[in-house]
């Protein structure tokens, strides 16, 4: 009996011919990361172990992104602690103005690669599975130990095979596919499982949309969300990779806990209603509620292609007078590219607030906190009560075109309602 993609990767990292779901394994890791919220506890745990240095300085990253630029004294102290540790140890580190949101920055800068095991002190570490690696979030204590030893232990997860056939319609992308999937299987539909994404619809997606899908695997309860490397993956990776890597593929006779098939031909822009990513409905069935805020950004949809899509909807138009629209490119490189392309000018002229790369509003950190009763359309990954501010605020998740159209309309809306046409 063959192995799934997750099993193949994990077996290769614990020097075994095969692993099976449910087994406890100890495996080597290729890359470890933490951010300004989670790193301080991981550093404290590392210090307790009494080791002089991390297992490999070029395989541990400290990324300030959640509360940076520092929003208050506590966040400043956390960032300072992380920075000093990174400089002391000689780790991968990006200061503000040179980095960005970790889950967009690390793949774009070639630090996470196909066939690897990547662990991070952040639940959306699963983003990197789009490259064909096993990437998962862990607690800060485990991350502190991984920094010291280069090893982790885990239970091998079962795998779900999700197959997407057909061609996507206009204004529909990876965000809509994953929201539709979570709406179908539920927020616990892949609990402690590896979601393995397949099919012609996936092969047609650009790398950025694939990263969006894997990013939200955790919203279905998954341990990881993986895609088999193909020509698109290899082209992306070869232009960026900082070290040697070895891609893996699932065996033809791999055994899956479940196989689900989807035809995306009829899929339309999809939104998740409050207060769960599982409350996903086609936009045509969503209530046209008036809104107070739009946020375009985050590790889910703050990439250059996302900004281009939003700018296409906003160009020559104005944000509704009642709405504040916040646009945050996910990395400094994306910021510069968007600046050179004129996208940031389009947003600013439309009446948007454009900011330096940060997680900020996504986790209700700052720069976009919602008041009681306010509604927001966001390109982020979560819309739990209190996620972006007051627990009685409402967050609607959607793709960048939906978010941009909603900002212009002053209510939840689709791009064709604003433009009256398909994308260029």
The burial class, CB within 10 Å (0-12 / 13-18 / 19+), for 341 is middle
147 and 186 belong to one structural domain: yes
- Structural domain span for residue 133: 5-262
Boundary of a domain, candidates 262, 282, 299: 262
Condensed to tens digits (0 to 9), the pLDDT of residues 317-330 reads: 999 999 999 999 99
Residue 247 inside a domain? The answer is yes
Same domain, 64 and 98: yes
Global model pTM greater than 0.75: yes
How many domains would you assign to the chain? Answer: 2
Q: Give yes or no: residues 249 and 101 share one domain.
A: yes
Which pLDDT belongs to residue 1?
A: 83
- Last residue within a domain, chosen from 243, 262, 281: 262
Do residues 22 and 146 share a domain? Answer: yes
> Is residue 347 pLDDT above 70, yes or no?
yes
What is the DSSP code string of 183-215? Answer: HHH-TTTTTT-EEEEESHHHHTS-HHHHHHHHH
Q: What percent of the chain has pLDDT above 70?
A: 99
Q: Are both 18 and 157 inside the same structural domain?
A: yes
Q: Inter-axis angle of helices 140-149 and 39-49, to 10 degrees? A: 50
419 lies in some domain: no
Interval 226-258: pLDDT, tens? 999 999 999 999 999 999 999 999 999 999 999
Does 35 share its domain with 152? yes
Chain Cα centroid distance, residue 51: 32
Structure tokens at 209: 């949309």
Q: Are residues 36 and 53 in the same domain?
A: yes
Residues 68, 170 within the same domain: yes
């Amino acid at each position: 009996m063959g192995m799934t993609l997750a099993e193949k990767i994990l077996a290769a990292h614990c020097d075994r011919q095969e692993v099976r779901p449910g087994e406890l394994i100890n495996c080597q890791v290729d890359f470890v990361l933490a951010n300004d919220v989670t790193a301080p506890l991981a550093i404290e745990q590392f210090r307790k172990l009494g080791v002089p240095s991390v297992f490999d300085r070029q395989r541990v990253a400290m990324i300030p992104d959640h509360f940076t630029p520092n929003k208050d004294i506590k966040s400043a102290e956390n960032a300072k602690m992380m920075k000093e540790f990174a400089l002391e140890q000689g780790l991968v580190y990006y200061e503000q103005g040179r980095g960005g949101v970790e889950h967009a920055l690390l793949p774009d800068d070639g630090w996470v690669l196909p066939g690897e095991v990547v662990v991070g002190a952040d639940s959306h570490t699963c983003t990197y599975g789009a490259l064909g690696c096993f990437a998962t979030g862990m607690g800060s204590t485990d991350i502190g130990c991984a920094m010291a030893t280069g090893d982790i232990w885990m239970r091998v997860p079962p795998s779900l095979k999700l197959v997407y056939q057909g061609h996507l319609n206009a204004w529909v992308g990876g965000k809509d596919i994953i929201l539709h999937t979570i709406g179908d299987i539920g927020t616990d539909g892949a609990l402690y499982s590896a979601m393995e994404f397949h099919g012609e619809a996936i092969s047609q997606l650009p790398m950025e949309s694939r990263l969006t899908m894997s990013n939200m695997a955790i919203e279905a309860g998954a341990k990881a969300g993986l895609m088999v490397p193909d020509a698109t993956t290899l082209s992306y990776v070869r232009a960026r990779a900082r070290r040697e890597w070895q891609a893996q593929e699932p065996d033809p006779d791999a055994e899956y806990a479940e196989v689900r098939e989807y035809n995306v031909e009829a899929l339309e822009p999809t939104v998740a209603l409050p207060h769960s990513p599982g409350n996903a409905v086609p936009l045509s069935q969503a209530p046209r509620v008036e809104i107070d805020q739009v946020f375009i950004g985050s590790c889910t949809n703050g990439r250059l292609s996302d900004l281009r899509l939003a700018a296409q909807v906003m160009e020559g138009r104005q944000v509704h007078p009642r709405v504040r629209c916040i646009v945050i490119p996910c990395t400094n490189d994306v910021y510069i590219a968007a600046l050179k392309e004129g996208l940031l000018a389009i947003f600013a002229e439309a009446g948007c607030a454009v900011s330096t790369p940060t997680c900020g509003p996504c986790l209700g950190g700052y720069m976009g906190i919602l008041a009681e009763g306010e509604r927001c359309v966001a390109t982020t990954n979560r819309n739990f009560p209190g996620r972006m501010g007051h627990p009685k605020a409402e967050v609607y998740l959607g793709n960048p075109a939906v978010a941009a159209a909603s900002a212009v309309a002053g209510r939840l809306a689709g791009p064709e309602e604003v433009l009256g046409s398909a994308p260029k």
